[in-house]
Amino acid sequence: MRRLCGPLLGAAMSAALAFSSAVARGAELKAAIPLTRMHPMPEDYMVTGVSCSGPGIVLFGHHRPFATGDRETRILRWQAGETGWKTTYSEPDSRVGDYSIGVDGTLFVLVVGKSAPRLIRSSDDGTSWTPLANTPAGTFGAEFRDARFGFAWGSKRVAATADGGQTWKSSSARGVVEEGSPWPVVDAAENLWVAKMPMTGPHGILVRIGPDPATRSEMPSKDSIVGMATSGSDLWLALRDGGYGTAVVAKLAEDGRKFDRVAELNADLPIDFAVRGRDMAVLLAHVEGMTSTRYVAFSEDGGESWTRMLPGRDSAQRICIGARNELWVAGRESLWSSSGPP
């Protein structure tokens, strides 16, 4: 889940983001293990994200028939024993701009359409949805720690709420949070962590924005930051070595001044990243010529060892780790799992 121990972080802000090579090691992936096909995906559905934090599986995305090209936000839910996906929210002429899963299981979705962007919330594992009282104007991204505290941002401002979206405190933030920034997270001290990818200079910049959004610090990185996740007291990063090379999993060191490389995976492109307890998963794309093959590197021991997980011949789109530490993969054609139904 998305948690991070705040007291470790203050000392990390004054220097460039450093990495310890002492624990870095190449990870040899064990023989591929096929995942179990659990349920077909809905036709003409484009997945933006997936949640497996509760008893059901919730998909965030939109329905887009090839024949018409029309786009409609649809949030779908499936649970073991049910025969098909249930649409729990839909809105025509719109898309899912962002989504967030709180540590308490509260789900948030930013719906972007012809009208002003708006945030909706579910407190019952995606079964029903209600709009927040207020969504800051121009919002294109949001991340919440729980039902109470979270951030929303646009091209000019970052805003924080401590009452579930009733009121917001905002600060000028032009260029601080970019549209498409990979997987921002909120820590236990209610800081927002965001990765930036500048056109020049360092390959990545890690930004910390405080509970008061006017407070922020930056740390440059020599590696591209392509994903972030929190679990317990740890902040995890998925990186691309030097911006182009090996996929790396790293963790904030105990001194709060550097990140330790926990594992160096194959020289493939990280697509998605999930951490829960000591379990972690990286969705990777192996590109060879004009062909791209996707697979999941999965670890159950904090990155000590890794296993290649394959969703048949399906093209994996998004991943998550469930409450029983099982891996879930949403593919183009099917939903896959490393164990039985949820």
In three state form, how does the secondary structure of 98-117 look? EEEECCCCCEEEEEEECCCC
Q: Are 265 and 297 in contact (CB under 8 A)?
A: yes
1, part of any domain: no
76, part of any domain: yes
Average pLDDT over residues 200-208: 71
> What pTM was estimated for this model as a whole?
0.86
What local confidence, expressed as pLDDT, does residue 10 receive?
Answer: 32
342, part of any domain: no
Domain that holds residue 73: 6-337
Q: How many CA atoms lie within 13 A of 275 on its CB side?
A: 25
How far is it, in rounded angstroms, from Cα 4 to Cα 13? 16
Output the average pLDDT for the chain. 82
Q: The domain spanning residue 197 has which CATH number?
A: 2.130.10.10
Find, among 180, 112, 129, 123, the residue nearest to 147 by Cα: 123
**Chain centroid to CA 204: how far?**
17
- The CA-CA-CA angle for residues 66, 119, 239, to 5°, reads 75
3-state class (DSSP) for residue 283:
strand
Amino acid identity of residue 283, one-letter, is L
β 258-264/18-20 pair status: parallel
User: Can you tell me which residue has the tokens 């220097």?
Assistant: 15
Average pLDDT over residues 202-213: 82
User: Can you tell me which residue has the tokens 């995942």?
Assistant: 35
Q: Give every CB contact of residue 12 below 8 A, 6+ residues apart in sequence.
A: 219, 252, 256, 257, 258
- Domain tally for the chain? 1
Per-residue pLDDT reduced to its tens digit, 301-337: 988 899 999 888 888 999 999 988 899 999 999 999 9
